[in-house]
Amino acid sequence: MLYREAGDFKTSYEADSQTFPIAFDRYRIWVVLAFAYLVVPFVINDYWANAILVPFLIYAIAAIGLNILTGYCGQVSLGTGGFMAVGAYASYKLMTAFPDVSIVIHIILAGGITAVVGAVFGLPSLRIKGFYLAVATLAAQFFLVWLFNKVAWFYNYSASGQINAPERTVLGIAVTGPNTEAWAQYLISLVFVTACAIIARNLTRGSLGRTWMSIRDMDIAAEIIGVNPLKAKLTAFAVSSFFIGISGALFFTVYLGAVEVGEAFGIQKSFLVLFMIIIGGLGSIFGSFAGAAFLVFLPVVLKVIGVDLLGWPTDLVAHFQLVIVGALIMFFLIKEPHGLAQIWRLIKEKLRLWPFPY
């Protein structure tokens, strides 16, 4: 009833091939965007921004990035944490070297630098596949973390090896540093997420995305029909790293403000983002959001239920969190191996036929 295509006639090729061909989908996305841009900034407080929404948005960008590489191009990567570190340290060096340039430009440049680094570490993908490639990207992860720990130039020779984000403004409003208002922090992340999601969605629908998917589905067949694997794989690595670099830069500048590379961008971060796209759904932009939401919200929800509502000891709740999150991951992977995005797709299919399924 609500969700249907009847009466939704397309009179041009553009209309037929648009991102959301069903009218209801378009209205829904506008409502979500309007809510996110026009309502949330007015009700958000520090807790919601710092503990829930900003990390969710930033992880969503990282998940989109990894999804392009792993979900669309089929190249398994465990280097996400390392590439986020490149974004963070690039933005730090740029921020401190050119304090007068806008932070937005620095974040985008940090994404560009990460893209170059990612493409370099993507070179082995031309020769090795699958688990072997995962191990090669694992090397990138460890090498990059070691590099940022070892070379003092990257952290401006500070005594502790920590990097701290100084205050920077956009249109006169602080978006980094301690005096940032919750809504400003949220909005700048939201703008980047929206832009990244639109770019990623359109890239994956275009010819570039099709070459990635052909490589993923069968690389030899793709080569025979004229897809250049060098170009396809390296662009996937570059574009993916660009997004991951942006998320790393935001993670450091907007979200945490002070970062220690081994702790913030260690191997566990690579796994976290990989879990996000596996739970959310490989090869789906919506899945990146769903997976990021799942893994950011769930621990907080469990903590609120366990500690604040039930009054259990904090260590017990922390241990239960691991058990419950682990069990839920297994449950989802067994019940729906294609992730939350597939569940969403099935719901949509059912809604289209409802109330007269056949």
Partner 1 sequence: MKMKQLATMAVTAVLAASVASAELVIPDLSYRTGPYAAGGTPFSDGYQDYFNMLNARDGGIGGEPIRIVECETGYNTEKGVECYEATKGEGALIYQPLSTGITYQLIPKAAADGIPIHTMGYGRTSAANGEVFNWVFNYPANYWTAASVMVNYLLEENGGDLSDKKIALLYHNSAYGKEPIRTLEELSANYGFELTQLAVDHPGQEQKSQWLQIRRERPDYVLMWGWGVMNQVAVQEAANIGFPMENFIGNWWAGAEADVLPAGAAADGYKSLNMNRVDPTLPVFDDIRTLVHDAGNAAGDGSNLGSVLYTRGMYAAMLASEAIAKAQEMNGVSAVTAAMVRDGMEALEITDARMEELGMPKIGPEFSVSCENHGGTGLGIVQQWDASAGAWVALTDYIAPDMDVIQPLIDEDSAAFAAEAGIEPGCL
Binding site for partner 1 (CB under 8 A): 32, 35, 39-40, 43-48, 50-51, 55, 96, 149, 158-162, 164, 166-167, 177-179, 256-260, 262-264, 266, 300, 303, 307, 313-315, 317-319
Q: Least CB distance from residue 150 to partner 1, whole Å?
A: 9
For residues 231 and 319, which CB has a smaller minimum distance to partner 1 in the complex? 319
For residues 11 and 160, which CB has a smaller minimum distance to partner 1 in the complex? 160
Residue in the block written with tokens 């829930």? 52
Q: CB of 286 within 8 A of CB of 341?
A: yes
Cβ count within 10 A of residue 230: 11
Q: Least CB distance from residue 314 to partner 1, whole Å?
A: 4
Q: Is the peptide bond before 229 cis (omega within 30 degrees of 0)?
A: no
CA angle 295, 197, 108 (to 5 degrees): 100
Among candidates 52, 55, 53, which has minimal Cα distance to 250?
A: 55
Q: Least CB distance from residue 47 to partner 1, whole Å?
A: 4
CA distances from residue 135 to 68, 123, 129, 173, 245 in whole angstroms, order as listed: 19, 13, 10, 43, 21
Q: Least CB distance from residue 146 to partner 1, whole Å?
A: 9
Among candidates 251, 238, 261, which has minimal Cα distance to 59?
A: 251
Q: CB of 126 within 8 A of CB of 223?
A: no
Q: Least CB distance from residue 120 to partner 1, whole Å?
A: 24
For residues 227 and 295, which CB has a smaller minimum distance to partner 1 in the complex? 295
| Amino acid found at 188 | I
For residues 98 and 132, which CB has a smaller minimum distance to partner 1 in the complex? 98
For residues 16 and 46, which CB has a smaller minimum distance to partner 1 in the complex? 46
For residues 232 and 264, which CB has a smaller minimum distance to partner 1 in the complex? 264
Alpha helices by DSSP H, listed for 98-228, are: 103-122, 130-150, 182-205, 207-217, 219-224
Helix (H, G, I), strand (E, B) or coil at 50: helix
Helix (H, G, I), strand (E, B) or coil at 249: helix
For residues 221 and 323, which CB has a smaller minimum distance to partner 1 in the complex? 323
| Amino acid found at 225 | I
Residue in the block written with tokens 């789906």? 284
Q: Least CB distance from residue 88 to partner 1, whole Å?
A: 13
Report d(CA 289, CA 273) in Å as an integer.
11
Report d(CA 253, CA 3) in Å as an integer.
41
For residues 84 and 282, which CB has a smaller minimum distance to partner 1 in the complex? 84
